[in-house]
Amino acid sequence: MGGQVVTPASYSAADLAALPQTTLPDQRERRARPDLTGVLLESLVTAAGPQTPAVKNADLRVSIVVAGKHGAVAATLAELQPRFGNHPALLVTQGHGRHARTDLVFPGDRGTQRTVHDVRSIKLSVADPALPTGLPTGALKITTDRGSVLVTARQLAKLPQITRTVTFASGSGQQTRVETGPTLAAVLRAAHVRTTPTSVVAAIADDSYVSTVTPGEATSGRRTLLLSLVEVGTALTQPRLVTDGDIAGGRYVSGLLGLQVTNTCR
């Protein structure tokens, strides 16, 4: 385990077996499957100590790329944390001795697309995107390693819209909102931004608040990722990132100015 961490570490199958184990129901397929037991990925990330800045909800900037023998996948620390996404991932060890292998599994996923077999490395990154400036009202700047694209308010409004009633905890108590807008995936497609299983999207607010999500949360993780343009019947000046299904509202990014899309290699 490495990347932007305070304490890099290495784990053998025996090391993982000696750590606290968690058992969760396997919901990846419709047919009944045995429960899964392993080490919470979140616990290893926390032990490594992400190098986060001294800002509000800094953990929401942390992303993780888990690479195996034949593939890799990205997740965010916030998706895993019980107080935000509450969608844990397990490192499950199969076999014994020299034939043991460790797989990454999201027991609550729809399907097995985010399963990584024979895990070899875990890399942490902390998003620190630049604040977009000089944008027209309602517009969104999408930045990738190939450049940037401006999506105007009119273009956002022309995309297919969906409506979700969302409930989440906040500092002032439980909140319920009706949000309407295009999905994150639709916005990225409209901007001709390609994503991969290791893509991470950092949402940037007008007050420099940053939170990360992954497209995989929507395709596999049973979570709607929405860029709301209308909240409770009132048009928003700037879009709002909505992470429908989160326990707390930390990843609901209001005053959204930009999206930074990082396609991390193994």
pLDDT tens digits along 42-67: 999 999 999 999 999 999 999 999 99
Q: Evaluate whether 161 touches 182 at the Cβ level (below 8 Å).
A: yes
Architecture of domain 140-263: Alpha-Beta Complex (3.90)
201-232 pLDDT tens trace? 999 999 999 999 999 999 999 999 999 999 99
Q: What is the amino acid identity at position 137?
A: T
The residue whose two tokens read 């019947």 is 233
pLDDT on residue 229: 99
Could you tell me the CA-to-CA distances from 168 to 41, 63, 219, 245 in Å, in that order? 24, 22, 21, 8
Domain ranges for the chain, please list them. 2-126, 140-263
**Element of type H or E holding 79:** helix 77-80
Cα–Cα distance between 110 and 222 in angstroms, integer? 7
Same CATH fold assignment for domains 2-126 and 140-263: yes
The helix/strand/coil state of 155 is helix
CA distance 188 to 252: 18
Q: Reduced to 3 DSSP states, what percent helix, strand and coil does the chain have, rounded to the nearest 5?
A: 15, 40, 40
pLDDT digits (tens, 9 = 90+) for 8-48: 999 998 899 999 999 999 999 988 889 999 999 999 999 99
Please report, for residues 9, 183, 206, 235, the alpha-carbon distance to residue 162 in angstroms, rounded to integers and kept in the order given. Answer: 43, 7, 24, 14
- Burial classification of residue 10, based on how many CB atoms lie within 10 Å of its CB (0-12 exposed, 13-18 middle, 19 or more buried): exposed
Q: Give the C-alpha separation, 245 to 163, whole Å.
A: 14
Domain covering 2-126: architecture: Alpha-Beta Complex (3.90)
| Cβ 54 vs Cβ 103: under 8 Å | no
Q: Is the pLDDT of residue 266 over 60?
A: no
The end-to-end CA distance of the chain, in Å, is 13
